[in-house]
Amino acid sequence: AQTVTQSQPEMSVQEAETVTLSCTYDTSENNYYLFWYKQPPSRQMILVIRQEAYKQQNATENRFSVNFQKAAKSFSLKISDSQLGDTAMYFCAFDKYNNNDMRFGAGTRLTVKP
Amino acid sequence: DTAVSQTPKYLVTQMGNDKSIKCEQNLGHDTMYWYKQDSKKFLKIMFSYNNKELIINETVPNRFSPKSPDKAHLNLHINSLELGDSAVYFCASSQERRPHGYTFGSGTRLTVV
């Protein structure tokens, strides 16, 4: 079974600064998807960014980017120019290709301080 | 239009009762899921349904039963509720090829007293 590990239970960052959230995963698969989801206090699960394993280029969505290291099985999320609205739980998730079974890490609680 | 909607948003009930949570998606997705988020925020998959067929059933007590009347609906029925069932339950949906991930409902906070 695939496992996803987020080693940082909590992190904080000053507004306008950059923060990186870590995620590692364990799999024997070659084809899969990786995601970062954000869960603000409203509890809605919001997709932040996604990466397909066969793509070497790191995904970018505005202030959010990932560092995908397939060999190291690492998938970190970088948030640039942090905003107060970025305060939330962030979950890393792994989804094996053609398998309806997305697995989540334990989450990192990020607080952006003014 | 809400893509994945689940009702109710909050549910408080006594131990031993039977309750249902409803979920509907209007995205035309072919797979729907139920996840449980515990008090420590850990998300665990409970069930998934593809074209009305159960394809994953994690180690969930058989008091929990998913019911899918059609491709757009996946309801969760819970019998004989226990204190440990208190959690937030999320419904989600996806396409078979999922580069876009899952779309989640807003969650149902179930409190068993």
**B38-96 pLDDT, tens digit each:** 999 999 999 888 876 787 777 899 899 999 888 899 999 999 999 999 999 999 999 86
Average pLDDT over residues A88-112: 92
Give the contacts of B83 (CB within 8 A, at least 6 positions apart): B15, B112, B113
C-alpha span between B111 and B88 (Å, rounded): 9
Q: Return the pLDDT at A101.
A: 81
**A48 vs B54 pLDDT, higher one:** A48
Are residues A97 and A34 in contact, defined by beta-carbon separation less than 8 angstroms?
no
Give residue B100's pLDDT band: very low, low, confident or very high (50, 70, 90): confident
C-alpha span between B19 and B50 (Å, rounded): 23
Mean pLDDT of chain A: 94
* pLDDT tens column, A8-38: 999 999 999 999 999 999 999 888 999 999 9
Closest CA to B25 of B43, B10, B5, B8: B5
Give residue B99's pLDDT band: very low, low, confident or very high (50, 70, 90): low
Average pLDDT over residues B3-23: 97
3 state SS of A27: coil
Q: State how beta strands B53-57 and B73-78 pair.
A: unpaired
Q: Return the pLDDT at A35.
A: 96
C-alpha span between B88 and A4 (Å, rounded): 21
The amino acid present at A103, given as its one-letter code, is R
**B111 vs A101 pLDDT, higher one:** B111
Give residue B101's pLDDT band: very low, low, confident or very high (50, 70, 90): confident
The amino acid present at A108, given as its one-letter code, is T
Average pLDDT over residues B7-30: 96
Give residue B97's pLDDT band: very low, low, confident or very high (50, 70, 90): low
Question: How many beta-carbon pairs below 8 A join chains A and B?
Answer: 58
Q: Return the pLDDT at B80.
A: 97
Q: Using CB atoms, pick whichever of B41, B56, B103 lies closest to residue A100.
A: B56
Q: Return the pLDDT at A99.
A: 73
Pairwise CB contact (< 8 Å): B96 & A95 = no
For residue A89, list chain B residues with Cβ-Cβ distance below 8 A.
41
C-alpha span between A108 and A8 (Å, rounded): 6
Closest CA to B105 of B92, B95, B94: B92
Kindly report the nearest CA distance between residue A15 and chain B, in angstroms.
25
Backbone angles phi, psi at A86, to 5 degrees: -80, -10
Highest mean pLDDT among A56-65, B56-65, B93-102: A56-65
Pairwise CB contact (< 8 Å): B101 & A35 = yes
